[in-house]
Structure 1
Amino acid sequence: MIVGVGTDLVEVARIKLSLERNGDRLARRILTPKELAHFLDHGQKAHFLAKRFAAKEASSKALQTGIGRISWQDINVSSTKAGAPRLEFSGKARERLFALGAREAYLSLSDERHYALAFVVLSA
């Protein structure tokens, strides 16, 4: 049974502009230490960060909290051995996940030149 759905679309140019103006300040604010390590080594930083931003926003919508009631750091985006994106929840996000009765979280990410898209489904 589906207990939560969320989606988010991010304009990559906005993330790129933030990186140009503020360096990696946004990345350090929203990425977990694991994600930040990948970001620092990534060749396309704006696309990487846009996808993570979208994934965390979509997750907060699926959790029915919005990002204001959970921490960016409570959601980690990693990859399976096959390369599929995977969500890991901690802190208040994990508490909310279990309060909804969710046991699985599914994440789909896509990006093109101008946009990054995330779609999240939570199931019991």
Structure 2
Amino acid sequence: MAIAGLGTDIVQISRIERSLARSPALAERVLTATELVEFVGHAQPARFLAKRFAAKEAAAKALGTGIGRGVSWQQFQINHDEAGAPILVCSGYSQELLQQRQIHHCWLSISDEQDYACATVILEC
């Protein structure tokens, strides 16, 4: 197995909070329908969105595309396993890129502390 991509991102939670206040539609642009359900019921929605934002940015960076060039926020969904660990699920063009590059596993770590949320994605082939 070899590392085929690495991406990391850090987000200031207050920046997401301000952006949400200006444009509540931000959540709909970044989150999938499944994630939106969790977002709406979350005790700290800005923190939730900041963590997803960072994870999706990190995933796009690991792919080498960034958001754009055929890759969108909606093509990444963050699920959790039975123990609560985050799982990155890709669809659309991002999934095609993974298949083309023979990526067999996407490792995702998400952290937050007071003012910041960060995420790292490692693509393994």
TM range (shorter): over 0.9
Q: CA deviation at 1:102?
A: 0.5
Query: Normalising by structure 2, what TM-score?
Result: 0.96
Greater fraction of residues in helix: 1
Q: CA deviation at 1:30?
A: 0.9
3-state SS of paired residue (1:67): coil
Q: How many residues align?
A: 123
Query: Normalising by structure 1, what TM-score?
Result: 0.97
Match of 2:59 in 1: 59
Report percent identity of matched pairs.
Answer: 51
Could you tell me how far apart the structure 1 residues matched to 2:20 and 2:61 are?
A: 25
Q: CA deviation at 1:47?
A: 0.6
Does 1:33 pair with 2:33?
yes
Q: CA deviation at 1:119?
A: 0.3
Could you tell me how far apart the structure 2 residues matched to 1:99 and 1:47 are?
A: 34
Match of 2:119 in 1: 118
Does 1:78 pair with 2:75?
no
Match of 1:89 in 2: 90
Could you tell me how far apart the structure 2 residues matched to 1:101 and 1:2 are?
A: 11
Q: CA deviation at 1:113?
A: 1.1
5+ residue gaps, structure 1: none
Match of 1:18 in 2: 19
Q: CA deviation at 1:20?
A: 1.6
Could you tell me how far apart the structure 2 residues matched to 1:116 and 1:40 are?
A: 19
3-state SS of paired residue (1:15): helix
Could you tell me how far apart the structure 2 residues matched to 1:12 and 1:99 are?
A: 34
Q: CA deviation at 1:18?
A: 1.1
3-state SS of paired residue (2:118): strand
Deviates more, 1:98-107 or 1:85-94: 98-107
Could you tell me how far apart the structure 2 residues matched to 1:21 and 1:82 are?
A: 35
5+ residue gaps, structure 2: none
Could you tell me how far apart the structure 2 residues matched to 1:113 and 1:18 are?
A: 18
Q: CA deviation at 1:22?
A: 1.8
Moved over 4 A (4+): none
RMSD between superposed Cα atoms in Å: 0.7
Cα deviation, 1:44-81, whole Å, max 9, x if unaligned, reads 00110000000000000001111112011100011111
